[in-house]
Structure 1
């Protein structure tokens, strides 16, 4: 069987496109990191509202930001609208990122996927949540992504330390953790 040059080029192009689509789709797969168990008996409605970032492992998308907060609102279709906001002192301006999140499966399990950039999702696993939904420890797709969130801009020192010890128990490297200022410095 003999193929024309154009036929071979089309076949090669389709193969490249198919491989690219497969890579993109697999890049969108989100899972819970090995050894991490998201909170069970999770009530997504109670989690909605504003949370303040007290601690994080820093990444390029948050680098230099202080006063970081996340506001979550539940949509009619069960997805969550996410608005992250932080102050960039170097530029003396507020930065905001809008995204969407959805539960990975079981609605009583605090495992979500979140996207700020098109079809690409990251993990958002609530691994600790107090009964009043006032403090939360969140781990992403890996232990390289970690946040300590609170409904208030500060918590008592003893509770703060207990939560960091708990995070360390999950495998979070506390030497990489950055405390996030929640007050804009006056100049």
Structure 2
């Protein structure tokens, strides 16, 4: 009975790191090229990012083969920066853009790279464990409309609510991130 109870408690945590049905992570992924800072261009709304503009994600190598993740955004209501630090690990192999990320202790969520500029690593589209989570990222604070149109069409084809995306503001005239 005890092993069954332990399995039932662990199963939801494992399921959170899986990709949504029908969503495939990119192959031939190169972590070294993905590391660094990405600007959030658009996202589906979630409580942990509400009210944030100028959102960035920074990825660096961490101890024990993991990836240190620092998400940062400016809260326009409070006038303060908010930051969350987590760690990510590959779910499959290092050549597949499917990771599990944790910001809150043992609770892990899926980080599934479903689209990527494999030539220059200048844009990416990332899903969470289900279609309620989607991010469009870029190395620059904006993204060419032709690339954006392509990503939106792909996301819509995969069943994401692209009309509900929040477009992240990255104004040039505000103070630098400290």
Match of 1:47 among 23, 26, 34: 34
Two-structure CA RMSD over aligned residues (Å):
1.9
Residue 152 of structure 2 is aligned to residue 164 of structure 1: yes
Match of 1:96 in 2: 83
Deviation per CA, 1:128-187: give whole Å up to 9, x if none.
00121110000000010000000000122222222211211221111221111112776x
Match of 1:4 in 2: none
Q: For 1:54 and 1:113, locate their aligned partners in 2 and report how far apart those are by CA, in whole Å.
A: 22
Flag structure 1 segments of 5+ consecutive residues without an equivalent.
Answer: 1-14
How many pairs align?
A: 170
Q: CA deviation at 1:120?
A: 0.1
When residues 97 and 154 of structure 1 are mapped into structure 2, their CA distance, relative to the original with a 3 A threshold, is same
Deviation per CA, 1:67-124: give whole Å up to 9, x if none.
0000000124220000000000011100000000000022111000001001000000
Q: CA deviation at 1:39?
A: 0.1
Match of 2:142 in 1: 154
Match of 2:107 in 1: 120
The TM-score with structure 2 as length reference comes to 0.89
- Alignment partner of 1:28: what SS? helix
Residue 61 of structure 2 is aligned to residue 74 of structure 1: yes
Match of 1:56 in 2: 43
Q: For 1:158 and 1:43, locate their aligned partners in 2 and report how far apart those are by CA, in whole Å.
A: 24
Flag structure 2 segments of 5+ consecutive residues without an equivalent.
Answer: none
Name the larger-Rg structure: 1
Q: For 2:124 and 2:19, locate their aligned partners in 1 and report how far apart those are by CA, in whole Å.
A: 16
The TM-score with structure 1 as length reference comes to 0.85
Match of 1:137 in 2: 125
